[in-house]
């Protein structure tokens, strides 16, 4: 029996992880967390009966306790202390980090220090703290198993090729809902427009990130740390069919990739059972039905948020944190209809210019950089 803890169980990745638990009798849930979606969270607790749960704040914890008064309720914690407790639950074999944002960094570090394998869906962990996370995981003998479809595809394409040099990583993306649009055509984009992803069903934040292509910038940063390659060896390729999820080119010119339907359950399942492959319900890829696959260069002038990611990586230090934090706040403002779609990358650029550069940031520096970035954005209003 493999026991799992999920940080962010009510989001897209969290709920799909639980759907995998439903199909596999040898998985059990020992701890889960959510911020505020208590209706969904209550149902999950009643169904999976974890021994520990965590919510966003003390008020939510009291509300949840009242809701569960008719059953033998789990231990209920809240705030960062609760997230850390979920991440280090003594019975957990693997921790699924499915929370969105930099709030996932400290629990991930705690889980690694507790020698838990990590099914990583929280890309901010490596974007901002890869220089801390990767050496720590190696020291503790912990596996970092990617859950993003693209990074899982790369990880799968590397299996059986230990010792062979990577010439290039081909990191694919759909191009989002605005592929082929000009800068002027994006001027009046609405929130509803940006949330219409052509292929994937994801949470709001990551869907907006896909529309700006900032998500691909974050994934390039993540790939750098996961696979120990320089950004110059990562080629972003627009692939609108979302069939080839990513690939690896080796020094002999051979390209090995992973294809499949756009179903996030596949990389989640692979991470939970690695290196074993398990049956998965759902549609199978029909190559005859697809007919053809297209590949295009990304438009990094129109979608300059992607170029800013490469600039942040070239700068190093805390610049990836500035990039990420600025995007988090800007996307939240866009979803609240406080700024325009095109203002998102503009805010990222302004923050990267104005926030103080730190060449070798500690965890405290990373968290301070986040707050400084937020403060600068607040000063713009």
Q: For position 325, which CATH number holds? A: 1.10.1740.10
Is 326 a domain residue? yes
235-254, pLDDT tens digit by residue? 999 999 999 999 999 999 99
Mean pLDDT, range 31-36, rounded to an integer: 95
Task: Identify the pLDDT of residue 201.
Answer: 66
Mean pLDDT, range 21-42, rounded to an integer: 96
Is 277 a domain residue? no
- For 335-369, give the DSSP string: HTTSS-TTHHHHHHHHHHHHSPP-SS--HHHHHHH
Task: Clarify whether residues 32 and 110 are in a common domain.
Answer: yes
Which of 311, 326, 351 is at the close of a domain?
311
pLDDT band at 200 (very low <50, low <70, confident <90, very high): low
| CA–CA distance, 233 with 220 (Å, rounded to integer) | 10
3-state secondary structure of 8: coil
Task: Clarify whether residues 68 and 47 are in a common domain.
Answer: yes
- Judged against a pLDDT cut of 80, whether residue 125 lies above it is answered with yes
| CA–CA distance, 341 with 304 (Å, rounded to integer) | 12
Pairing of the two strands 75-78 and 52-55? parallel
Task: Clarify whether residues 155 and 139 are in a common domain.
Answer: no
Task: Identify the pLDDT of residue 100.
Answer: 85
Is 271 a domain residue? no
Is 32 a domain residue? yes
- Judged against a pLDDT cut of 90, whether residue 102 lies above it is answered with no
Tell me 185's DSSP state.
G
Is 118 a domain residue? yes
Which of 89, 124, 146 is at the close of a domain?
146
CATH code of residue 101: 3.40.50.720
Which of 146, 180, 201 is at the close of a domain?
146
The helix (H) or strand (E) run that includes residue 79 is helix 79-87
Task: Clarify whether residues 194 and 73 are in a common domain.
Answer: no
Task: Clarify whether residues 239 and 135 are in a common domain.
Answer: no
Task: Identify the pLDDT of residue 163.
Answer: 87
pLDDT band at 39 (very low <50, low <70, confident <90, very high): very high
Whole-structure pTM over 0.75, yes or no?
yes
| CA–CA distance, 108 with 360 (Å, rounded to integer) | 20
Is 269 a domain residue? no
| CA–CA distance, 260 with 149 (Å, rounded to integer) | 10
- Judged against a pLDDT cut of 80, whether residue 198 lies above it is answered with no
What is the span of the domain harbouring residue 141?
2-146
| CA–CA distance, 253 with 250 (Å, rounded to integer) | 5
| CA–CA distance, 369 with 356 (Å, rounded to integer) | 8
Task: Clarify whether residues 294 and 378 are in a common domain.
Answer: no
CB atoms under 10 Å from CB of 294, counted, come to: 10
Cβ pair 148, 206 in contact under 8 A: no
Is 275 a domain residue? no
Is 18 a domain residue? yes
Which residues have CB under 8 Å from 20's CB, separation 6+?
Answer: 27, 265, 268, 269, 272
Task: Clarify whether residues 36 and 9 are in a common domain.
Answer: yes
Name the domain count of the chain: 3
CB atoms under 10 Å from CB of 299, counted, come to: 18
Residue located via tokens 């592929």: 179
State yes or no: cis peptide before 275, omega within 30 of 0.
yes
Task: Clarify whether residues 93 and 217 are in a common domain.
Answer: no
Task: Clarify whether residues 195 and 324 are in a common domain.
Answer: no
142-196, pLDDT tens digit by residue? 999 999 999 999 999 999 998 899 999 999 999 989 999 999 999 999 999 999 8
Task: Clarify whether residues 299 and 351 are in a common domain.
Answer: no
Q: What distance, in Å, lies between the first and last C-alpha atoms of the chain?
A: 53
Task: Clarify whether residues 217 and 240 are in a common domain.
Answer: yes
Task: Clarify whether residues 341 and 241 are in a common domain.
Answer: no
Which residues have CB under 8 Å from 136's CB, separation 6+?
Answer: 109, 112, 113, 142
């Amino acid at each position: 029996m493999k026991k799992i803890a999920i940080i962010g169980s009510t989001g897209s990745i969290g709920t799909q992880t639980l759907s995998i638990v439903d199909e596999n009798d040898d998985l059990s849930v020992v701890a889960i967390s959510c911020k505020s979606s208590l209706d969904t969270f209550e149902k999950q607790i009643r169904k999976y009966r974890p021994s520990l749960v965590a919510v966003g704040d003390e008020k939510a914890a009291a509300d949840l306790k009242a809701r569960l008064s008719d059953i033998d309720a789990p231990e209920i914690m809240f705030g960062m202390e609760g997230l850390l407790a979920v991440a280090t639950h003594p019975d957990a074999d693997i921790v699924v980090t499915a929370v969105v944002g930099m709030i996932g960094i400290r629990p991930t570090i705690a889980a690694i220090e507790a020698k838990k394998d990590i099914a990583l869906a929280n890309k901010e962990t490596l974007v901002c703290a890869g220089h801390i996370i990767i050496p720590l995981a190696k020291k503790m003998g912990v596996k970092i198993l990617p859950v993003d479809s693209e990074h899982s595809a790369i990880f799968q394409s590397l299996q059986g090729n230990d010792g062979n040099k990577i010439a290039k990583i081909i990191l694919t993306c759909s191009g989002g809902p605005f592929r082929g649009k000009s800068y002027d055509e994006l001027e009046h984009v609405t929130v509803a427009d940006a949330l219409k992803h052509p292929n994937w069903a994801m949470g709001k934040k990551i869907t907006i990130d896909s529309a700006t292509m900032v998500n691909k910038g974050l994934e390039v940063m993540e790939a750098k740390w996961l696979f120990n390659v320089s950004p110059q060896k990562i080629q972003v390729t627009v692939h609108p069919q979302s069939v080839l999820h990513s690939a690896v080119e080796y020094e002999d010119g051979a390209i090995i990739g992973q294809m499949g339907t756009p179903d996030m359950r596949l990389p989640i399942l692979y991470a939970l059972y690695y290196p074993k492959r398990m049956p998965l319900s759902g549609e199978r890829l029909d190559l005859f039905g697809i007919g053809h696959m297209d590949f295009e260069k990304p438009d990094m002038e129109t979608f300059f948020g992607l170029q800013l990611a490469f600039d942040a990586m070239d700068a190093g230090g805390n610049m990836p944190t500035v990039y990420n934090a600025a995007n988090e706040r800007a996307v939240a403002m866009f979803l609240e209809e406080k700024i325009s779609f095109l203002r998102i990358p503009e805010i990222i650029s302004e923050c990267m210019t104005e926030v103080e550069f730190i060449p070798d940031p500690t965890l405290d520096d990373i968290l301070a950089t986040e707050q400084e970035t937020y403060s600068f954005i607040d000063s713009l209003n």
